Amino acid sequence: MPRPHDGGPAAYPGGELELFRHAQNWKDYWGSRIEPFLGATVAEVGAGIGANACRLSQTRRQWTCLEPDSALAARIRGLIERGELGANCTLVVGGLAALPPNVRFDTVLYVDVLEHIEDDRTELAEAARRLNPKGHLVVLSPAHPWLFSPFDAAIGHARRYTAASLSGLSPPALHPRHFQYLDSVGLLASLMNAYILRTAQPTEAQIRFWDRVLVPASRWVDCLTGFRVGKSVLGVWQAA
């Protein structure tokens, strides 16, 4: 079931969040690609269990975790109360619609979230309205519809994107900056799962192998291919 972002509490299974939370090489990799577009104020839509905020908010930037699922939001609240996210982090139980209409950010961020949202075009239009001048909209999502697997269906993906289809969602008020693919070596593992293994959930051992072996290799190969191949797609837009 697609993950809702209508501003109210919602139920989301979220089992894959625990599975991927320790994929530190992968988080370091895509984190390094989006770092130039993270401004002083960031709204992370669909913040999950706070794993991305833990990784990326440990600076002076103000980080707002938007999470519509009440159980997942409680996990983030616990991190904040224990000081693991710092005083610069705040939590909103809901999506962008739960914010006061005048609230704006330097960056609105979606990490493996947009593919859960049924009306993705309307979602990005609302994100564009939430940006400060020269602010950035950043989306990281699974790539290639032909890689759609039982795992995608099991965790509620409505779709996978190409660079062209993601660019096609561009809100009129924003300027497309760049669209690129990441994790070219991991693409081989996704191909195997989509067409041979067809598993609904990877094992912890498989995740460790991908993160420790395939992701470091991808950091080199992606540069060689000019970021034209990969199992994830990164899109960045900028406000006027």
* DSSP, res 213: I
As given in the structure block, the two tokens for residue 148 are 């759609």
**Facing residues of 136 across strands?**
107, 238
Q: What is the CATH number of domain 15-239?
A: 3.40.50.150
The upper half-sphere exposure of residue 26, i.e. CA atoms within 13 Å in the direction of its Cβ, equals 26
> pLDDT (tens digit, 0 to 9) for every residue of the chain, 240 residues total?
334 444 443 455 555 777 787 789 999 999 999 999 999 999 999 999 999 999 888 777 899 999 999 999 999 999 999 999 877 999 999 999 999 999 999 999 999 999 999 999 999 999 999 999 999 999 999 999 999 988 888 889 999 999 999 999 999 999 999 999 999 999 988 887 665 556 667 788 888 999 999 999 999 999 999 999 999 999 999 999
The domain spans of the chain are 15-239
- Give the C-alpha separation, 66 to 59, whole Å: 19
- Give the C-alpha separation, 52 to 47, whole Å: 7
Backbone angles phi, psi at 71, to 5 degrees: -70, -45
pTM value is 0.91
As given in the structure block, the two tokens for residue 234 are 């990164």
The DSSP annotation for 74-122 comes to HHHHHHHHTTSS-TTEEEESS-GGGS-TT--EEEEEEES-GGG-S-HHH
